[in-house]
Amino acid sequence: MVFQKLKAHCRKLGVVKMDTAELEEEKYSETKIKGVIKIQAEERVRKTSSDLHRGILNVGSIQNLTELRKMRKNRKKKVAPPPEPEPEEITGPVDVPKFLKAAVEGKIKIIEKFLEDGGSPDSCDEFKRTALQWSSLEGHTEIVQKLLDKGANANFRDRLDCTAVHWACRGGRLDALKSLQNSGADLNVKDKLMSSPLHVATRTGRYDVVEHLIASGINVNAKDREGDTALHDAVRLNRYKIVKLLIIHGANMLAKNADGKTPTELVKQWQFDTKDVLEGLVQSKDSEAEKQA
């Protein structure tokens, strides 16, 4: 035994070279050892199972199990939501920065106080961004409607020539967009990059907003400064659901941008979903043309 241990130690050090016979002997002896270990392990499992079975049968174990069940039930109980913060008490006049911050945070009481004290609903920050634009981006529809009711300009442009409609589309705020639309906001307006609200909604992946804009009759083939239509943007960003929606509603698949590229030519090899949508729609249009012919 000692010799075998010494021999094994020497092998680890690379001192002893083993021949085929010794390898076979080691292989089978290792198998025997594994068999013994397996039998011993099975015996331990049987003993543990037997001890556990006896433990469960005694009263103390049953009480422990009952307590465990109670603990699990308590864990499953929903934690009570924290109490809502009390309305902020407004003392003194509200300045423009606080008014604009309230538009971002959705604090309508501060908005109302500012307007009641004669503040202009079109007050803006250094970027010429108004409370209407901020609340449209954040989706505070109640504030949007309050500002519009008090005479806020729905088509007011900031330094980027963006209007509240652009910001509502960027934030995916459909309710705010509808409020602006009902107050006469222009849905085809363009910013400094000549991007329409449809471009913005497409780039940010706002499917429901895109759907609403199309239903409202906007120009689906409007081009930005680079000559890209919303379809170009949808293909480039792999918004395949929007791609399908735009094409179904008349987007021009042959429209070329400033680089002379059509939306179809912008599809990359890895854009499998977009590729399938475009190919399917092309085949569908071809078959319809054949039927009409």
Find residue 130's DSSP bridge partners: 124
Name the pLDDT band for 240 (thresholds 50, 70, 90): confident
Tell me the C-alpha distance between 82 and 84, whole Å: 6
SS3 82: coil
Tell me the C-alpha distance between 29 and 21, whole Å: 12
Q: Which residue has the tokens 């363009």?
A: 190
User: Cα-flanking dihedrals φ and ψ of residue 96, to 5°?
Assistant: -60, -45
Question: pLDDT at residue 134 above 90?
Answer: yes
CA dist 179 → 33, 110, 255, 259 (Å): 80, 21, 32, 38
Tell me which residue of 206, 214, 258, 207 sits closest to 232, measured CA to CA. 258
141-149 and 131-138 helices, crossing angle to 10°? 150
Structural tokens at position 225: 């400064």
- Are the C-beta atoms of 199 and 231 separated by less than 8 Å? no
Tell me the C-alpha distance between 206 and 128, whole Å: 25
- Are the C-beta atoms of 143 and 175 separated by less than 8 Å? no
| Tens digits of residue pLDDT in 171-223 | 999 999 999 999 999 999 999 999 999 999 999 999 999 999 999 999 999 99
E strand or H helix at 35: helix 20-57
Question: pLDDT at residue 260 above 80?
Answer: yes
Question: Across residues 23-36, what is the average pLDDT?
Answer: 45
Structural tokens at position 270: 């890895």
| Tens digits of residue pLDDT in 223-239 | 999 999 999 999 999 99
- Are the C-beta atoms of 184 and 154 separated by less than 8 Å? yes
Tell me which residue of 99, 179, 183, 216 sits closest to 196, measured CA to CA. 216
| Tens digits of residue pLDDT in 34-79 | 555 556 666 665 665 555 555 554 545 556 667 767 776 666 555 5
Across all residues in the chain, what is the average pLDDT?
80
Q: Which residues contact 281 (CB under 8 A, 6 or more apart)?
A: 244, 247, 248, 253
Question: pLDDT at residue 8 above 90?
Answer: no
Element counts in the chain: helices (H) and strands (E): 14, 0
Structural tokens at position 271: 């854009």
Structural tokens at position 36: 């013994």
What's the Rg (C-alpha) of the chain? 36
**To which CATH superfamily is domain 95-186 assigned?**
Ankyrin repeat-containing domain (1.25.40.20)
- Are the C-beta atoms of 228 and 200 separated by less than 8 Å? no
Tell me the C-alpha distance between 245 and 109, whole Å: 40
Per mean pLDDT, which range of 67-71, 280-284, 289-293 is the poorest?
Answer: 289-293
Task: Report DSSP letters for 42-55, one per residue.
Answer: HHHHHHHHHHHHHH
pLDDT of residue 150: 97
Tell me which residue of 202, 180, 287, 208 sits closest to 251, measured CA to CA. 202
